[in-house]
Amino acid sequence: MSEPEILICPICDAANRVPRVRLADAPRCGKCKAALFEGKPLALDARRFDRLIRTGSLPVLVDFWAEWCGPCKAMAPTFAAAAGDLEPGFRLVKIDTEAEQTLAHRYAIRSIPTLMLVVGGREVARQSGVMDRASLVRWARVAAAG
């Protein structure tokens, strides 16, 4: 039997153990009963992001963006749609580089939008610039398998 995945609740940040074979069964948080997957990226601050990558076991696909960035705004619907393609095997999150400058500095984000894939708490791949949905999904899956 495979190890369960550790899913961090998007509402209360509780850690939930879910058998891998049950990920697609709309799991709910054991603490607050919220859905563990919402079909959309989570907007996180530094504290919640750190908890997610430190405690959660799913690959985390991060979109570093800013409100003033035109390409970021163009990429936002594509990234949101990719959540439907990649969940429940991935957790997708958005980090506003203006609000979370310490994270942007920690990961040396020099241009936006930048996508970063974190597996097991460490960065395994990075891609800057706008991508179409199919390319984004393919890139994430190949990088996570990698």
The residues annotated as belonging to the active site are 69, 72
- Give CA 22 to chain center in angstroms: 19
64 burial via Cβ count (<10 Å: 0-12, 13-18, 19+): buried
Helix/strand/coil for 75:
helix
Q: How far apart are CA 60 and CA 5, in angstroms?
A: 13
